[in-house]
Amino acid sequence: AQSVTQPDIHITVSEGASLELRCNYSYGATPYLFWYVQSPGQGLQLLLKYFSGDTLVQGIKGFEAEFKRSQSSFNLRKPSVHWSDAAEYFCAVGAGNYQLIWGAGTKLIIKP
Amino acid sequence: GAGVSQSPSNKVTEKGKDVELRCDPISGHTALYWYRQSLGQGLEFLIYFQGNSAPDKSGLPSDRFSAERTGGSVSTLTIQRTQQEDSAVYLCASSRNGFQETQYFGPGTRLLVL
């Protein structure tokens, strides 16, 4: 069965520091991969997605993610975080049908 | 343009009562999803509507849950005889056509069953 794992429930990063949020998936074929962000009091918003092609994907708000087939990973990165990046981040996998399988989320806390 | 809207934003009910949650998708979006998000959990798929096709109800947790979508637009999720474990945030999302398209989420309805 398809699954998505986000190993870190919480991550604390200092403002201005770099960020990497981990996402691992289990799926036999090449999946469709997504990162969504849920900011306090706001709805979920798509950051970026990967379907095919270049394995390094650029998204909104300065985020990027890299698909690594050999590691079954799709980690989200940002070179320098801002206080406004504090939110919960969800990785999701589209596994050949119309459903997305979601990770449990990683809550990002920004230290001033 | 207008995004996905959901009502009510919060609902407190007593165990055993029925509740109706409403979702207004983005105009022209043929795909509509309902999800449930419990505290500390990811999104749990509940039901999917695509155009005029029969909905996929495979994610509904019990027969107390049902949903309909009228005229390919507004959708209502109904929970009958609510239980405390139904307490969660219920999210609605729409997309132009299928999951490859970006899903646009509403703000959710926070349901508390006492």
Band (pLDDT 50/70/90 cuts) for residue A2 is confident
- Considering only alpha carbons, which residue of chain B is nearest residue A37? B105
Q: Which domains does chain A have, with CATH numbers?
A: 3-111 (2.60.40.10)
Place of tokens 């979702």: B23
How far apart are the CA of A70 and the nearest CA of chain B, in angstroms? 23
Q: Which residues in chain B show pLDDT less than 70?
A: 1
For B58, residues 6+ apart whose C-beta sits below 8 A from its C-beta are none
- Considering only alpha carbons, which residue of chain A is nearest residue B89? A43
**Amino acid identity at B5:** S
Q: Do B42 and A46 touch (CB under 8 A)?
A: no
> Tens digits of per-residue pLDDT, A19-65?
999 999 998 777 889 999 999 878 899 999 998 889 999 999 999 99
Residues of chain A in contact with residue B98, where contact means CB-CB under 8 angstroms, are: 98
Q: Do B41 and A104 touch (CB under 8 A)?
A: yes
